[in-house]
Amino acid sequence: MRDMKELKNAFGQADDVFVNNVYHTLTDIQSNKDRKPVKKTYFRLAGVIAIVCILCAGTALAFNNTWGILDFLSGRRADVKVLPEASDIVQKDISQKGSQTEFAAFTVREAVFDGQNIYIVVDVVPSGSDYLLLGPDAYPYDPSKNLGPLFSGKTGTIADYARESNKEMMQTSVGISGSNCSIDYLLEEDGTLVCMISSRFTGDSNVTDVELECVAVPFVIENGKYTRDMDRRKDTTLSATLKNTGTQGTVASKEPAVFRDGGVRVDKITLKSSAMSTYAEIEFTVIDAEKYAETDGILFEFLDIYGERIPSGAASGGGIESIDDMHYIEKVSLQAMEKLPSEVILRGYSYLDKNRYETHTFGMK
């Protein structure tokens, strides 16, 4: 193992923000230990060095413009787990066209399409150094630290930073046409806004063409307040062709089960596995309309053998789709699994009041 002197020579002198990150990380770990005293943990030099190395890697990531799909999942969503082979299905050499506007250019950096969900990282590059790009839900009076890891520890608002840097603020947006998307984003050192988009998107063909809707709108001050100048809004489309890497396996429930508390019968559960996520579909029928109405529409969650909720997967979206007035499908994403289970435990719950109902175990084949 390298000693502290070698580490210092390798990484250089840490700045104040980095040092604060180390202390915050140690404090968070200590707080977690205090909240749940299951196993006593002792912090030795090796542990501290490990934390320093991890934070250095994160800092290097932010400064070297290498944020990709897996980096967003590991660096921005700590509870999400993917399989090691997920890196093998990340596409980087992507056929694409379009993307340029007066204020910014949009380019796909990375993508994954596994037949169930699309994950895309898009570079939004300002057309001039005097533009500060913001994400779709970011506004001038938001804290500047919301811009990403590079701004960790900074005080003041985004507007303050823009004023100090003599930059014009632009709100940008990227989404897959015709799809509900989730989006995360951060600003890199060179001014590039990197957006991670996730959307449910099913398909069986070997390749699929995706159209991205891209928007840039400048902020102006009217009546003493920042507002978007919609007259100067610029729209463009970006088309990309993605390979379908497909899912690795499928299992389905053997028998239905009645959830009397919720007034429904679960007819079928289907699980499909990918290196990115486990995709679950729960098909159910309303058999007691009055009870179903009382629950404000029952939802389902998967439990492990200890009765704990299985964490969500990398995919976004989901929710309930209506087949007709009595038949529905709930789609959820679970953490990626090496092997699909031979049985699952399903519990009903109310979305509004969070009441938990009965559980049933389903054999899978």
Map the chain to HEC letters.
Answer: CCCHHHHHHHHCCCCHHHHHHHHHHHHHHHHHHHHCCCCCCCCCHHHHHHHHHHHHHHHHHHHCCCCCHHHHHHHHCCCCCCCHHHHHHCECCCEEEECECCCEEEEEEEEEECCCEEEEEEEEEECCCCEEEECCCCCCCCEHHHHCHHHCCCCCEHHHHHHHHCCEEEEEEEEECCCCEEEEEEECCCCCEEEEEEEECCCCCCEEEEEEEEEEEEEEEECCEEEECHHHCEEEEEEEEEECCCCCEEEEECCCEEEHHHCEEEEEEEEEECCCCEEEEEEEEECCHHHHHHCCCEEEEEECCCCCECCECCCCCCEEEECCCCEEEEEEEECCCCCCCCEEEEEEEECCCCCEEEEEEEEEC
Identify whether 122 is part of a domain.
yes
Give yes or no: residues 227 and 260 share one domain. no
**Centroid of chain to Cα 163:** 31
Compute the half-sphere exposure of residue 192: CA atoms within 13 Å on the CB side of its CA.
Answer: 21
Domain boundary among 13, 30, 63: 63
Give yes or no: residues 221 and 98 share one domain. yes
Q: How many CB atoms lie within 10 A of CB 155?
A: 10
Identify whether 86 is part of a domain.
yes
Identify whether 148 is part of a domain.
yes
Identify whether 190 is part of a domain.
yes
Identify whether 108 is part of a domain.
yes
Identify whether 329 is part of a domain.
yes
Give yes or no: residues 102 and 157 share one domain. yes
pLDDT of residue 295: 82
Query: In sequence order, which residues have a C-beta less than 8 Å from that of residue 251 and are 6 or more positions away?
Result: 270, 271, 340, 341, 342, 364, 365
Identify whether 13 is part of a domain.
yes
Give yes or no: residues 101 and 167 share one domain. yes
CA pair distance 272, 190, nearest whole angstrom: 40
Give yes or no: residues 229 and 271 share one domain. no
Q: Are 185 and 195 in contact (CB under 8 A)?
A: yes
CA pair distance 82, 277, nearest whole angstrom: 7
Q: How far apart are the first and last CA of the chain?
A: 47
CA pair distance 279, 335, nearest whole angstrom: 9
Cα 336–Cα 339–Cα 345 angle in degrees, nearest 5? 80
Q: Are 113 and 106 in contact (CB under 8 A)?
A: no
pLDDT of residue 317: 66
Give yes or no: residues 238 and 259 share one domain. no
Q: 269: domain range? A: 249-363
Domain boundary among 63, 92, 110: 63
Identify whether 27 is part of a domain.
yes
Domain total of the chain: 3
Retrieve residue 183's tokens: 């989006």
pLDDT of residue 316: 78
Retrieve residue 131's tokens: 């533009």
Residue labelled with tokens 């994160």:
58
Give yes or no: residues 102 and 189 share one domain. yes
Q: How many CB atoms lie within 10 A of CB 16?
A: 8
Give yes or no: residues 218 and 266 share one domain. no
Q: What is the CATH number of the domain that holds 194?
A: 2.60.40
pTM of the model: 0.79
Q: For the chain, 365 residues long, give each residue's pLDDT as a single digit of tens.
A: 333 333 334 334 444 444 344 434 443 444 344 433 333 333 333 333 333 333 444 444 444 457 999 999 988 877 789 999 999 999 999 999 987 889 999 999 999 999 999 999 999 999 999 999 999 999 999 999 999 999 998 999 999 999 999 999 999 999 999 999 999 999 999 999 999 999 999 999 999 999 999 999 999 999 999 999 999 999 999 999 999 999 999 999 999 999 999 999 999 999 999 999 999 999 999 999 999 988 888 999 999 999 999 999 999 767 899 999 999 999 999 999 999 999 999 999 987 777 899 999 999 99
Retrieve residue 300's tokens: 């389902």
- The closest of 346, 326, 173 to 271, measured between CA atoms, is 346
Domain boundary among 243, 268, 292: 243
CA pair distance 312, 278, nearest whole angstrom: 9
Give yes or no: residues 96 and 116 share one domain. yes
Give yes or no: residues 45 and 183 share one domain. no
pLDDT of residue 49: 37
Give yes or no: residues 107 and 228 share one domain. yes
Give yes or no: residues 155 and 179 share one domain. yes
